[in-house]
Structure 1
Amino acid sequence: MTDLVFSLVMLAAIFLVLGAYLYWRRTGEVKQPALMVVLAVIAVGNVLIWTIPTSDGSSPVDLIEETQAEETQAAETQ
């Protein structure tokens, strides 16, 4: 499920940058497209934070998946 969320966030970031470029070309305005690019950078940064491994080799996403697997296994044994 997290893979789907990360994929959608990355697609949204790509479309934000594309939309910002088109908006800037059409109107010549700078503030709104700049804010769109900032939002795209923040979204990509969040995906990187969740997916890049730490010094011990695990990423926060791996920890979520491990916790879910443990909870599922505990629920099955009860």
Structure 2
Amino acid sequence: MAIRYGNVSPATILQFLGPVFIIVCLAIQYRKLPRRIDVISLMIAVLGTILIVTNGKIGTLSLSAACIFWGIMAGVSQASYTDA
């Protein structure tokens, strides 16, 4: 659905945010902060995704909201079926 409403490249990048959701869920589940390397990689992944979604112009979106929504939902679904 993300590809349908947007483009292949950003949809794929949004889908690969799955590890971000895994790190956050595990931190909540175990009530423990993630390791420093996990936080750094999380911040880099989110920052890179924001730059791609906004085309470097933070105030605007270069993709449709539907593409962003479905791309993030693909990442959430990836995290939901990962056995961690």
Q: TM-score, normalised by structure 2?
A: 0.42
- Larger Rg: 1 or 2? 1
Looking at both structures, which has the greater relative contact order when contacts are Cα pairs under 8 Å and sequence separation is at least 6?
Answer: 2
More helix by share: 1
